[in-house]
Chains A and B, each alone.
Chain A
């Protein structure tokens, strides 16, 4: 496939540059911009003078900024980051939480992509009619619900009152796959609703635009059955931006959105860890989570770009192909 190799190399180089810039930004956010003593900030509410002095040493807050930056990066990436509030190693905590967060996000991601595409497709082919209006209303409600509110409502009405599902908590897949899924169904659904709403409307909009394209008219003029026109010409071309977006959003969910769901359902993942750290104003975990979260997204974006280039051959050759 011509140009694919070059394209991948270009994107990887770009990725490294962005990762560097992200690390600088995280450094600025946590150590430069705020208007308080950094050591005090990091030590937390109950830090005494002894602790503050130790932190100053450890983190090099008396050194020039660039050195501080290097120190911070070293600590973060060698796993030498410790929370001064509970004495636990941050990176270890994050590692423990990853399988839970992934379980939550991957499951939700599959659900929201599948349902988003199905609802969006149906909305588009029945545009203007009752089914479309109903789906649009549902989608709009979906994107207006705060994730944590939906979670709490489901927890209260469906789990607690109706007893249909367990009231939060997590069961490891290796222990009991069925219970693992049982405990995750409500969180999956909670996380998925917002995106189902958004994606179905986006796909609907794309499909309606693509339906007006000349090549769709050509496909009909060739005598292709309507379903083939819809699936192979309209849907195929409409999905391309959706797939890109999915890559972005999936990264965003892992890096951020899961925080709310894990907090509400008490799932011991990275999100819950982050949420607890916010509540206790414990900065070292947040530094690590922010950094790794952003890194993960950039990595995912790069992969998505490469997949996109494979799907839409014009992208590979850049502007030449667009003429």
Chain B
């Protein structure tokens, strides 16, 4: 894979050929199958894909959260000279929560119900830093206030069930930022919340990114969220990255038929509504025995013989500058085929 052109020397996080397999009763599931990317300093990197695309497993593997007796992880995740895939438990512990933090999808179940919220923040502070209980408590109150929780001084002693969903997620973000990490991984942070709260949380994340230069890896299936805040986007399908580029490149010049399908299924305010919402036909492949060749082939109306061979993730036209994809079609063919009824879409089989 041609990486030297894109490699940033100060990349805080560099993933190379990550592969994650799980042993299950039905066989080996290839959840992540050869994912490589760099996180640029201060950027918001969006990872977008359907359920089962491998995006969450990728995110969790970055911090070693998928290590278990039935998982096999290979590849490398370079963070400031350390490879997190092979790092020892102690090394990982000192990085988690301090240099890299994570926020999860469901704030309801992500907080321990029997401990007060303040305690859970203090627990994290004291795990990494020497602090008196008094200092830690003050810091916890500060943190809650900084993410917009009213009455932080009283709220800090509340139990999680006394917080609303949006407030819980804010508290999780406060906890994640307690020790001022360089990178925040947000795994579907707003999926379990309603739309108005969603907007607030995304604004908060954007604010943190702008004010502190916090790099964010944002995982979501919601393209609307990506469009709001992301700088660059990785599109994942069946355990692999099928396209990557800047936000504008992905939305206005997508190169992969799957991305066209995603774009096509969006309803857009600046265009007349279609008669029927276009869908991508078929279903995602089973990760037990991924089909040979291009994984999107069974659902792609533009497939041809070459598609029996798995395309590499590469820049495929001059001046691409980081915009790479896994599709054998010629760039000119792509530009042609993706126009469906005046907008970008996947189109029906020929």
Residues of A within 8 A of B (CB): 128, 213-215, 217-226, 228, 232-233, 236-237, 240, 311-314, 321-323
Q: How far is the CB of A139 from chain B (nearest CB, A)?
A: 22
Is there contact, CB below 8 Å, between A224 and B123? yes
- Chain B contacts to A: CB under 8 angstroms: 63, 65, 69, 89, 92-98, 101-102, 104, 106, 109-114, 123-124, 127-128, 159, 161, 172, 175
Among residues of B, the one whose C-beta sits closest to the C-beta of A220 is: B65
> What are the 4 A-B residue pairs with the smallest beta carbon separation, nearest first?
A223-B97, A223-B96, A222-B97, A214-B109
Knowing A128-B69, A214-B104, A321-B161, the reply to whether A222 touches B175 (Cβ < 8 A) is: yes
Q: Is A226 within 8 A of B104, CB to CB?
A: no
Q: Give the complex CA separation of A249 and B125 in angstroms.
A: 40
Q: A213-B109, A226-B89, A228-B127 are in contact. Are A221 and B114 (CB under 8 A)?
A: no
Count CB-based A-B contacts (< 8 Å).
77
Write the chain B residue with the least CB distance to A219: B112
State which of A219, A223, A233 has its C-beta within 8 Å of the C-beta of B128. Answer: A223
- B130 to nearest A CB, angstroms? 15
Cα distance A223–B126 in the bound complex, in angstroms: 10
| C-alpha gap A94/B63 in the complex (Å) | 63
Closest to B101 in A: A221
Contact call B63/A214, Cβ cutoff below 8 A: no
Query: Which of A128, A222, A226, A236 meets B114, CB within 8 Å?
Result: A236
Closest Cβ–Cβ distance, residue A149 to chain B (whole Å): 38
By a CB distance below 8 angstroms, the chain A residues around B114 are: 236-237, 240, 311-313
A221–B127 contact, CB under 8 A? Answer: no
Q: Are A314 and B124 in contact (CB under 8 A)?
A: no
Additional pairs, 14, CB under 8 Å, beyond known A222-B101, A222-B127, A223-B92:
A215-B112, A218-B172, A219-B112, A220-B65, A220-B96, A224-B124, A224-B127, A226-B93, A232-B123, A233-B112, A236-B114, A311-B114, A314-B113, A314-B161
Residues of B within 8 A of A223 (CB): 92-98, 124, 127-128
- The 11 sampled A-B contact pairs (Cβ below 8 Å) are A215-B109, A215-B111, A217-B65, A217-B110, A219-B123, A221-B102, A223-B93, A225-B127, A226-B89, A240-B114, A313-B159
Q: What residues of chain A lie closer than 8 Å to B112, measured between beta carbons?
A: 215, 218-219, 233, 237
